């Protein structure tokens, strides 16, 4: 399915007007095809498999809600097209309502007030808040990393119309892979941000700061197509903003890129967000899979593939991410470097993060399921050790935090630690161009990591 696009109407070119009905028919057909696909997902062999897998009442109800949300997206798509019919001369160019991405994703443009976050009882009937005017800036200087990063679905410049947000469609197959409809889109309960995580199967190579009050974090990290050995594992690189103890009251806000065959059904590195208020037990989710994160950007699809990616001994592609707390309204915003905002986590979601973070962490994480009793060969970062340096190893650069004055400052006293340095390691430094930085990652299983 190709993207549908159109420029502004030119009064001097009447042929454009004659194309309007045809273009709108294409858009409506796209939405109808997406709904037909969603219904097909929910029925037939996949529907029977879901019935067999999700026998418990709470699992069946969770699966029903997910399928209903998919169907609702089609209705919202049609309503959006009909609403724009009367103002066709003012359509932005290029625009898209339903797009089939080259990697197989279906992207829906959904009215921003109809995204999953507004199913939350405290948000029903509301709309996204206005973007804050006051944003974190470095003390004594300005940033210049304000470009959008490229994604597979929009590599031709596609974007959703103003007032809508791009949402990657969830399929029945996505839910079936998870093994639990109720916990679909959530990290396993064993997940944690402990730096010594040997008992959980989650292994880290990270830099972190603690012992102060933090109101955000920023860094640039290069993106790789990390090889993940099994669907039960993932590899990610991200920023964690953390508060609370490491017990059941842990609050986190997270964003970065990940390769997760179970969640997405492929091995593409994808832009993601996450949050929890109870150490990954019952609250929170990835991306827009639950009522939490509120998206405001019409050009970035959370959960969609990042393309292109870094090449070993070749060109490097990185993304700049900033998470920060609005000092006026208290919401936690996600921003692309010093440029456009992606959206926000409402402050009422959190307990400890309702005030500030007491720890910020940057780096990589993998799941080691120990296939055949040995360490997994799942890669972290580029799959190469940090000693190989630029063009070969994964990195975080310009590692900063947001202080109480809403200013970006270097992450002083950044501590570096790797759970299993023979498998995944980390090495850091400082220079004028990159500020605080570190290289991290590794291949997993090797002679030093049996």
- Residue 431 forms beta bridges with which residues? 435
For residue 303, pLDDT beyond 90: yes
d(CA 425, CA 248): 28
Residue 42 lies in a domain: no
Q: Rounded distance, CA 199 to CA 197, Å?
A: 6
pLDDT at 25: 43
In a domain, 167, yes or no: yes
Q: Does 304 fall in a domain?
A: yes
Model confidence band, residue 23 (pLDDT cutoffs 50, 70, 90): very low
CA nearest neighbour of 243 among 351, 108, 157 = 351
Pairing of strands 407-410, 137-138: parallel
Confidence of residue 22 (pLDDT cuts 50, 70, 90): very low
| Count of residues in the chain | 450
The label of the residue with tokens 């065959």 reads 261
The pLDDT tens digits for 425-449 are: 999 999 999 999 999 999 999 999 9
Please indicate, yes or no, if residue 173 is contained in any of the structural domains.
yes
pLDDT at 193: 60
Query: What is the three-state SS of 323-385?
Result: EEECCCCCCEEEEECCCCEEEEECHHHCCHHHCCEEEEEEEEEEECCCHHHCCCCCCECCCCC
**How does pLDDT run across 63-122, given as a tens digit for each residue?**
788 878 777 766 666 555 555 544 444 444 455 578 889 999 999 999 999 999 999 999
Range of the domain at 335: 107-131+147-189+199-441
Count of domains observed in the chain: 1
195 closest CA partner among 209, 180, 182, 185: 209
63 lies in some domain:
no
In a domain, 21, yes or no: no
Domain-located, residue 270: yes
CA distance 326 to 329: 6
Q: What is the mean pLDDT of residues 43-71?
A: 71
Q: Is residue 446 situated within a structural domain?
A: no
* Residue 13: pLDDT band with limits 50, 70, 90: very low
pLDDT of the residue at 319: 97
Return the closest-CA partner of residue 294 out of 97, 127, 109, 67: 127
Catalytic residue among 59, 203, 233, 365: 365
CA–CA separation, 450 and 417 (whole Å): 20
Average pLDDT over the chain reads: 85
268: Cβ–Cβ under 8 A, 6 or more apart, which residues?
A: 103, 152, 225, 259, 305, 306, 307
Catalytic residue selected from 74, 254, 262, 388: 254
Q: Is 254 a catalytic residue?
A: yes
Q: How confident is the model at residue 43 (pLDDT cuts 50, 70, 90)?
A: low
Q: What is the pTM assigned to this prediction?
A: 0.85
Q: CB of 215 within 8 A of CB of 324?
A: yes
Tell me the helix, strand and coil percentages in the chain, rounded to 5. Answer: 25, 30, 45
């Amino acid at each position: 399915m190709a993207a549908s696009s159109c420029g502004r109407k030119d009064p001097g070119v009447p042929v454009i007007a004659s194309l309007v009905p045809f273009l709108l028919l294409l858009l409506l057909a796209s939405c109808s095809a997406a709904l037909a696909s969603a219904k097909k997902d929910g029925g037939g062999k996949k529907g029977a498999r879901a019935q067999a897998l999700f026998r418990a009442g709470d699992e069946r109800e969770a699966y029903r809600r997910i399928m209903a949300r998919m169907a609702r997206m089609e209705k919202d798509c049609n309503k959006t097209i009909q609403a724009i019919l009367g103002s066709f001369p003012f359509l932005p160019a290029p625009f898209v309502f339903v797009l089939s991405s080259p990697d197989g994703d279906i992207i829906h443009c959904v009215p921003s007030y109809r995204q999953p976050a507004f199913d939350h009882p405290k948000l029903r009937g509301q709309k996204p808040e206005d973007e804050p005017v006051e944003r974190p800036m470095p003390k004594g200087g300005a940033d210049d990393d304000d470009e959008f990063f490229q994604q597979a679905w929009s590599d031709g410049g596609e974007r959703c119309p103003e007032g809508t947000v791009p949402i990657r469609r969830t399929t029945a197959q996505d839910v079936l892979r998870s093994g639990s409809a109720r916990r679909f889109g959530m990290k396993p309960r064993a997940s944690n941000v402990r730096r010594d995580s040997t008992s959980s199967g989650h292994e880290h190579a990270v830099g972190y700061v603690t012992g102060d009050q933090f109101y955000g974090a920023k860094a640039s990290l290069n993106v790789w197509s990390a090889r993940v050995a099994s669907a039960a594992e993932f590899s990610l690189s991200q920023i964690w903003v953390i508060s609370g103890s490491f017990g059941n009251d842990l609050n986190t806000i997270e964003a970065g890129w990940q390769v997760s065959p179970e969640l997405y059904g492929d091995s593409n590195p994808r832009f993601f967000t996450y949050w929890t208020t109870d150490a990954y037990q019952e609250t929170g989710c990835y991306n827009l899979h639950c009522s939490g994160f509120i998206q405001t950007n019409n050009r970035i699809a959370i959960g969609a593939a990042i393309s292109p990616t870094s090449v070993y001994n070749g060109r490097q592609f990185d993304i700049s991410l900033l998470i920060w707390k609005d000092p006026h309204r208290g919401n936690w915003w996600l921003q692309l470097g010093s440029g456009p905002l992606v959206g926000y986590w409402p402050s009422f979601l959190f307990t400890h993060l309702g005030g500030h973070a007491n720890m910020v962490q940057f780096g990589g994480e993998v799941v080691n399921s120990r296939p055949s009793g040995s360490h997994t060969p799942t890669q972290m970062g580029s799959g190469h050790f940090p000693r190989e340096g630029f063009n070969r190893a994964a990195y975080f650069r310009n590692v900063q935090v947001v202080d109480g004055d809403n200013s970006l400052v270097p992450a002083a006293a950044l501590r570096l630690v790797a759970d299993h340095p023979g498998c995944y390691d980390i090495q850091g430094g400082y220079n004028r161009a990159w500020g605080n930085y570190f290289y991290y990652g590794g291949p997993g299983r090797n002679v030093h990591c049996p």
